[in-house]
Each structure stands twice: as C-alpha cells, then as structure tokens.
Chains A and B, each alone.
Chain A
Amino acid sequence: MSTQPDLLYSEEEEALRGAVRDLLTDHCDAAGVLARAETDTPHDLSLWKALADGMGLAGLLVPEDRGGQGATHREAAVVLEELGRAVAPVPYLTSAVVATEALLACDGDTVGQELLGDLASARKTGALAVGLHTAAGGAFTSVRAENGTLSGTVTGVADAAVADVLLVPADDGGLYAVDADAAAITPQTSLDLTRPLAEVRLDAAPGRRIGDAGPAVRRALRAGAGLLASEQLGLADWTLTETVRYLKDRKQFNRPVGGFQALKHRLARLWLEVVNLRAAARAAADALATGADTDVSVAVAQAYAAPAAVHAAEEALQLHGGIGMTWEHPVHLYLKRAKADSIAYGTAGAHREALAELVDLRAP
C-alpha cells in the first residue's frame, strides 16, 4: 500500500479510446446491434475483425515476443470501456482477455504458445469453456478425459458460438485446447442479447493438453472480473449520459423533465456512482497490469461495479418512462448486459465473500 495505483488515463490511452470510439460510432450503432441480436448471428464478426485484426487490439495483453502488442490491462480496460458504451457484440472480453490470460498461464506448451499467437493476431478466436457465472476460485465443470479424448457438456459459455478454439478444463486437472469443429456448440437463449451463451458438448473429441487447468482458469477469471469493471463503467457512463440528454430534451408540465429536483437528485447520485466506479475500475486495471494488490483491487472493483452498472441501467429505464420499456429503444440492451455482467465472473456477493478472507473481516 506504499505506492498508490495510477488511476488516470495516459495520453496514449486517450488516443486509443478515441480510435476505438470512432470505429464504433461508424460501425456499431444501437439500431444495428438490436437488429443483429434477433438473427442467428448476433455477433458482429466484421466489427470484431476490424478491432482485433485491423487495429491489433486482440493482442494487447500478449508480449511482443509472443506475437502480441505488449501493452497492458490498462489499455485493454480502455477498449472495454468503449465496447461497453456501445454494447458491442464482439468476443473481446472472452477471447482477447479471458482465453488469452488462460493461454498466458500455459507458457510451457508449444501448441499453447502457438495458439496464443493466433489469438493475439486475430487469426483465431478463443473461448474458455467455463460457465460465465464462475468466479475466480469458484467451482467449474470439468469434462471427462479418456484415452486422449474429451467427453462432457459445459453450459453457459459466453461467445462460444464464434470461437475457433475452446480451452476446456478436464477431470485429470489439465486444460485442453479443442478445435471448435470437434465440438457440438448450441446457442442458448440468453438474457444478454449481445453476449450470448452456448452449450458446449464434447463426445470423444480430440484435445491437446496445454497446461494445468486450476491456475490457468483462476488467472483468466480474475482478469475477466477485473476488466469487466471497465466494461460496466462504459455501460453506466452511456446510460447516465443518454438519460441526462433525454431529460433535458423531454418536456412535461411545460418544462424539461430534467429540471424537477426529484429527478436531478437521482441523476446526481448516479453521477457519483459512475465517478466512484471509474476510480474502482482504473484501480483494478492498474493492479492487474502491475501485479500489486491485485486480488483485493479486483474484488473491490467487481463488488462495486456490478450493482452500480445495474443501478444506472435500471434508473435509465425508469427515467425514460414508457419509451424505455420498448424493444425499439436501446436501453434494454444495456440493462440486459448490465444484469448479466452482475453475475459474470462472480456476483458482487461472491467478491465480497472473497474480500472477507483477503482483508480479514471474517464471517461469524
């Protein structure tokens, strides 16, 4: 605790934000996201290609000598803020953060390292075959390893539908790389339309053991939870900004609705929560980047971010009135993402329980 985390954005980080936002403004408007969500292909793969390959963002967390950009979690967090603001249906968090972190943990295996390069350069997209609700350190499903093949079913795997390679924990303690073509991947009807889940079924599928599942999964889920806070910041920031804009414009009783004190105070409180959320999210990103105080920073960020993002989306819906309840208005995309995010990589309650141990405030 002697040194404080760097909670600001550098000039380079702001430049990166500007570039990502420009791309999303041009290629990821709410109407398009909504229209796509109702098709069989809810993911926007051309946007993903532009981000991951065109801008080189898939490899931010991977060192240059292993085929990546050699940046840090701080930059990845900025990308996630912008993706959250746009509820962009791309597998950035699941492939460029979570699957990538799992592969970074398997640094003793050549196939694993080759895959890491493939993910970093966006030649392939990866998914960790663990239910999205799982917290770092929490229990997860392992498939059966037998005679060099894998069999079993994992449900609730985010973005599996667009993965080329699955990273699958097995009951022998190994983490296996499985070609997506060798698995039966069935989309599940998901609360979050823009980060859909799928069931992954393996029936004597060939897999390559690339490392130990325990440490790789833990590392991946911790990074996922920590950087998810930045996505939640993006969601909350968009919902607040959009609600303020709407309430300045919307008139009832011959005056802007945003002039009523009851609503002004609610919006001011939301703004405070977003300000707090930004500090917590930056602290988690910086802690992941530096390795200092990481477990506590991630747990604090997720314990705060999950309810804050949900609150922002719920307030946005209520303050929009009837229009907020319509399918046509994008606020429901943010509500669904925020609510799903509040379960993803562990609920706020799970992170508070982790903190009870980490900071020695133990249960009765």
Chain B
Amino acid sequence: MTDASELRRRTREFLAAHPPAATGRLDFLRARFDAGLAWVHFPEGLGGLGAPRALQAVVDAELEAAGAPDNDPRRIGIGLGMAAPTILQYGTEEQKRRFLKPLWTGEEVWCQLFSEPGAGSDLAALGTRAVREGDDWVVNGQKVWTSSAHVARWAILIARTDPDVPKHKGITYFLCDMTDPGVEVRPLRQITGEAEFNEVFLTDVRIPDSHRLGEVGDGWRVAQTTLNNERVAIGGMRLPREGGMIGPVSRTWRERPELRTHELHQRLLKLWVDAEVARLTGERLRQQLVAGQPGPEGAGMKLGFARLNQEISGLEVELLGAEGLLYDDWTMRRPEKVDFTGREAGYRYLRAKGNSIEGGTSEVLLNIVAERVLGLPAEPRTDKDVAWKDLAR
C-alpha cells in the first residue's frame, strides 16, 4: 500500500537522482514516467504506482517546490483527459505500452475525431465508414470541431463498421495515425478570429487492426469512457477562490474604480457568489471522489461552468465600456493550446460561447441529468430499432 509519506519519500529520491536544474526537460519527464510518478493511480510500468488518485497532489507539490518542469497539460489536454483513460481501460498491453508514455510526456499530441457535420448531439448517427481489408481498416469520412488536429500525432476515432444494425451497435473505436497521407486537416476559423479547431477529411486512411481499441462494434461503449472524462476535464478543474473567469473582472473592478456603476456592482456580486459556490461544488465533488463516494454531481459541473463563464465574460465587456468596443486581434491563427481566460475580455466573451456546446451541449446535458440522475422519462425514440442505413438524414 502506497501512502502519502511513502510517495513523498519516493518523489524526493527521484528528485535527488534527477535534479531538475541539471536534467533536460524531456529526459526528466520520461524518467518521471518510468518512476511511476506521472499519474500515480495508473498501474506500475505505465507511469503510475497503483496508488489512490488523490495522492498525485503529494507528488505534484514536491515536484513544484523543486522547480521541476511539467508536461504542459493545457497543450495535451485531450490526450491526458480523454485518450489516456480510454486506452487504459480498453487497450491491449501492447497499446498501453506503445501509447501512454509519449502521450504523457507530450512527445505525441492527441486529438479527437468524433463529431461530424451530420452527427453532433446525435453523435451515434456518425457516418464515417471503416471497412476491413486484410489486416487493415480503410476509413473514409469527414470529422469536424477537431481541436489540436493541426499539431496532433494521433487521434482517437470512432467510425461505422456495420451500417446494417442500429446506430449504437455498428461503431468501432480506433487509434488513428494523423501522419497517414489520407488525413487532411483544414483550419476552421472561429468567431474569435482564430482557428483553434479544424475539419478533418479522411480519404482511404489505412488503420492496422492492431490499432483498434476494444471489440468491433463496441465503439459506442468505449466512447462513453472518453466522453465522461471529457466532461469532467472541462468542468472539473480545481481552482482557488477567484480562479477562472471571475478573476480578471474582479481585478478590473478593484483597479479601475472609474468604471464602476451600481447596476454592474449588483450583477458582479451575484456572479461572484455563483462562481464561489460553483468552486465549492467542484471541491465537494473532488472530496467525494477522494473518499470513494462518487456522486452524480459531476454530471452538472459543466452546465454551471458554461453559464457562469458566459455571464461573467459578458459582464466584463460591459464593464470596460468604451474599451469593450475594441478587440485585441482578429488575425487568423492556429493556437497550440486552449486557454479560456487567455487574451482579453472580448476574446473571453466570444470563446466562452463554445463552453455550452463543446463536450455535449447544455441542452443534451440537461436531458442527461433529468433522465440519469432524476430518473425522469427518456425522450421518445424513433431510431432505436432501425438499421443505421435506414435513418433519416
């Protein structure tokens, strides 16, 4: 059994053997992975020690105090938050050994090829086809809203392998090589001016069967692991008081008394309270997970987070008055990482609009809460027993 003091000892020993100041960044990260200090709740040999997830904080605190480099988690969020837990749960031993280490060190960036122009909230209706040819699958189709596709080495991909069965049953999950000549990534410019995400065209992309994750036809179930982790990743970041979107507007309020009005004051205080309560809810959720009592509260975190980000950033633009009429830069760029609070107020306002769409729209999430948490009747379904090829589109 690995406890906190044992982990602290291990981390200090590791730091003694690999002093951050005298070790190259990548060498340090690779050695940290090999020492089981990357994500301690992962199994031994795969970057972890099979320890409780909560104990990662012990390791991180020691490393941070020693000035150790990190793996720049914002650059590799999809790999860490979505691909890794799915590969861990469904991957073969060979897949886990091949993919998890460079994923964690950031040597290989991952993206997610799930949504399609014709399959958004109804993701299971996706039409990208994968057809078996010898030891390979040949993939054709179009994916969309793919963050980081332009820097990704690998993608998690779901595609239709059997159009003759109902939609949820004919999907298979793959790990797709983004350097395959059949993969074409085109930037998709957003309302912020930049292209954080892309559309991805797949033309006769060949994926070896050894890069299939889970059973043929079981891709929908495998994808649930990815999607549940995505919502936790988007809504569940640990924050100090005034962390997140409420921070910049609170600072502006304090530093620029000439901008204050009574009406904005009332709205700011309400949102400050809401943000603090949302932070406490996230903290409570984490305490439940650490105590091994996971509750259904996680289902709603992203809903609250999206609404708050949108209202707070809208207030901030208004508070700025004349300056709120300006925008920092409309230049088309392709950023390598996602930062909701980065740049200026106008950007924050526009980027936050995506928070209630990405990772499941708020409308779909409300249905999920109503049905799975409150047990209310499901939406009437007309597609359950119909073969995918016969669905209306």
Task: Answer whether residue B67 sits at the interface, using C-beta atoms and an 8 A cutoff.
Answer: no
Majority secondary structure, A binding face: helix
Question: How would residues 94 to 107 of chain B score, 1 for a CB under 8 Å from any chain A CB and 0 otherwise?
Answer: 00000000000000
Interface residue from A4, A248, A264, A275 paired with B283 (Cβ < 8 Å):
A4
A244 to B291, CA, bound (A): 29
Nearest CB of B to A305, in Å: 9
Majority secondary structure, B binding face: helix
> A361 and B377 in contact (CB under 8 A), knowing A264-B370, A278-B284, A300-B276?
no
Question: How would residues 210 to 238 of chain B score, 1 for a CB under 8 Å from any chain A CB and 0 otherwise?
Answer: 00000000000000000000000000000
Interface residue from B269, B280, B304 paired with A356 (Cβ < 8 Å):
B269
Nearest CB of B to A248, in Å: 7
Please, which residues of chain A bring their CB within 8 A of the CB of B241?
A: 1
The answer to whether B283 touches A363 (Cβ under 8 A) is no
The B-contacting residues of A in range 147-170, CB under 8 angstroms, are none
The B-contacting residues of A in range 323-364, CB under 8 angstroms, are 352-353, 355-356, 359-364
- Of the listed stretches B74-82, B249-257, B340-348, name the one at the interface; the rest are far from the partner chain: B249-257
Task: Answer whether residue B321 sits at the interface, using C-beta atoms and an 8 A cutoff.
Answer: no
> A265 and B370 in contact (CB under 8 A), knowing A272-B303, A275-B297, A356-B269?
yes
A279 to B274, CA, bound (A): 12
- Of the listed stretches A35-43, A128-136, A230-238, A251-259, name the one at the interface; the rest are far from the partner chain: A251-259
Task: Answer whether residue A24 sits at the interface, using C-beta atoms and an 8 A cutoff.
Answer: no
> A248 and B370 in contact (CB under 8 A), knowing A279-B283, A360-B254?
no
The answer to whether B260 touches A363 (Cβ under 8 A) is yes
Interface residue from A248, A268, A300, A364 paired with B273 (Cβ < 8 Å):
A300
Nearest CB of A to B200, in Å: 32
Please, which residues of chain B bring their CB within 8 A of the CB of A256?
A: 376-377
Interface centre among A8, A355, A361 (most CB of B within 10 A): A361
The answer to whether A264 touches B284 (Cβ under 8 A) is no
Nearest CB of B to A359, in Å: 7
Task: Answer whether residue A110 sits at the interface, using C-beta atoms and an 8 A cutoff.
Answer: no
The A-contacting residues of B in range 250-272, CB under 8 angstroms, are 250, 253-254, 257, 260-262, 265-266, 268-270, 272
Counting chain A residues whose Cβ lies within 8 A of the other chain, the interface size class is 35 or more
The answer to whether B265 touches A272 (Cβ under 8 A) is no
Question: How would residues 183 to 202 of chain B score, 1 for a CB under 8 Å from any chain A CB and 0 otherwise?
Answer: 00000000000000000000
Interface centre among B300, B304, B367, B380 (most CB of A within 10 A): B300
The answer to whether A264 touches B293 (Cβ under 8 A) is no
Please, which residues of chain B bring their CB within 8 A of the CB of A282?
A: 280, 284
> A8 and B284 in contact (CB under 8 A), knowing A272-B303, A275-B297, A276-B278?
yes
Please, which residues of chain B bring their CB within 8 A of the CB of A363?
A: 260, 262, 265
The answer to whether A279 touches B291 (Cβ under 8 A) is no
Nearest CB of B to A192, in Å: 24
Nearest CB of B to A77, in Å: 14
The answer to whether B280 touches A279 (Cβ under 8 A) is yes
In the A-B complex, the 4 residue pairs with the smallest Cβ-Cβ separation, listed nearest first, are A259-B377, A264-B370, A364-B260, A268-B369
Q: Which residues of A contact B (CB under 8 A)?
A: 1, 4-8, 244, 247-248, 255-256, 258-259, 261, 264-265, 267-269, 271-272, 275-280, 282-283, 300, 303-304, 352-353, 355-356, 359-364
